[in-house]
Amino acid sequence: MSAALELLDAEGIDALSMRKLGTRLNAGATSIYTHVANKDELLDLVVDEVYGEIEMPATGDPAGWRAAIACCAHSMRTTLLRHPWIVSVLGEAGLAYLGPNVLRLQEAILAVLEEGGFSLEAADQAMNTIVAYIIGASTSEAAWLTTLARSGQGEQEWADRLWPAALQAVEAYPRLRSLYAAQRAQSLSDNRDDDFDIGLECVLNGVAARLAPHAAR
């Protein structure tokens, strides 16, 4: 799996093929089929491998469920951005969601939420909502970082080049003009971190209020 993961990280999802993987392993493509049935199965296995990098939330403190879930959420975001190709396949049907690492992570999240005051059914709904937010936010970030990588430019360099055109485009929209002007002086990386934190806090507030109103805040 490590060779396939290295190939995906280096060249992206479109580069994954049995032939290229065989070349990396100094083996023929046909020999790989003795281990996996096809490329889809290989991709499922690699996705599960990536999920194994995510930090599991720890139980043991019912009042600390938010902190445990937030820590796991940040780890998931960091992991997805470390392997940006993965966001393009997370919504596809497949067996990746039955992988051992994925199942262990889900079980751990459910345990933390249940311990924090959610029923099992509510914990499942909360988990799905939280993970959907993380994947959605990370997808936009991964697309942005992939574009940067292809350009060969740094984040601030790219932004400085685009700001004049962006400000001109929003000239007729006072609210957007005000937001863009304020954001120009800020670090884009810090902005992304802050936006993720604020969004995550809103999601955690929402699932607590809607699904476990008596859970520790």
Q: Write out the chain's pLDDT in tens, 217 residues.
A: 677 788 788 878 877 766 666 556 555 445 555 555 567 777 888 899 999 999 999 999 999 999 999 999 999 999 999 998 888 887 665 556 788 999 999 999 999 999 999 999 999 999 999 999 999 999 889 888 888 877 888 877 887 888 889 899 999 999 999 998 888 777 777 888 999 999 999 999 999 999 998 777 6
- E runs forming strands in the chain: none
Which of 146, 142, 135, 138 has the alpha carbon at shortest distance from 90?
135
Domain residue spans of the chain:
2-152+186-211, 153-185
Q: Tell me the one-letter amino acid at 195.
A: D
Model confidence, pTM:
0.84
**Cα-to-chain-centroid distance, residue 127:** 14
Distance CA 93, CA 95 (A): 7
108: Cβ contacts below 8 Å, ≥ 6 apart: 56, 57, 58, 59, 72
Distance CA 149, CA 89 (A): 20
CATH class of the 2-152+186-211 domain in this structure: mainly alpha
